[in-house]
Amino acid sequence: MGCSCFSDSELKKMHHLAHISAKDRIEYGAVIEPPCTLGPFIQGKAHEISIEKTPTSVGSAHTHPYAEAVPSVADTEDMLAKQDNRMCIIKAAFKSPDINCYTPQSPEKFQALGIMARWFKDDVKSYVQGLVERHGPEPKAETMMEKLQGMELKKRALAMRLTIERTQDVLLSRCSV
């Protein structure tokens, strides 16, 4: 499934997303369903969006109102965790937005890194759940900081982020739409 898989009408939808994102200064996105169609638009925030994978989706597309059409580390982490086959980033603009789509270069390596990312996410979730159980739903900031300082999880978070940051150029192929 190459970049050319998007029809003119789907590209127009991406351009529309770029325009409303530039106007509203927030991220917009949609899942990508086979063969290459955008699902319903989803509204995010200034620097984040959560696009849930559907049983049939092959990836997602979203805008960057304040950044270029390249994936952030968080975008790559999300793609890894969901094991998406495609991620399109749209630079918000009123005229001629940049649209870049990314696919895994090595599915095996991408899948292995995705498994590591999901394990790490589960570790963080269970750690935070444990804090809430011990200190209530709104623990004091100093309690949270004490728990986070010197914690092995903090080191693993940094290692995972650095691994993704260093490997995303190797793991992902880019093509401009």
Asked if residue 23 lies in contact with residue 6, where contact means CB atoms within 8 angstroms, the answer is no
Q: Which of 128, 145, 27, 29 is nearest to 88 (CA)?
A: 29
> Within 13 A of 139's CA, how many CA atoms are on the CB side?
17
Is residue 1 scored above 50 in pLDDT? Answer: no
Specify the higher pLDDT residue, 128 or 63: 63
Is residue 140 scored above 60 in pLDDT? Answer: no
For 80-121, the pLDDT digits (tens) are: 888 888 999 999 988 888 999 988 877 777 777 777 676 666
| Structural domains of the chain in order of their starting residue, each with its CATH number | 3-102 (3.40.140.10), 107-167 (no CATH)
Q: How would DSSP label each residue in 61-102?
A: EEEESSS-SS--HHHHHHHHHHT-SEEEEEE--SSS--EEEE
* Threshold 0.75, pTM exceeds: no
Q: For residue 84, which amino acid is it?
A: D
For 153-164, the pLDDT digits (tens) are: 666 666 666 666
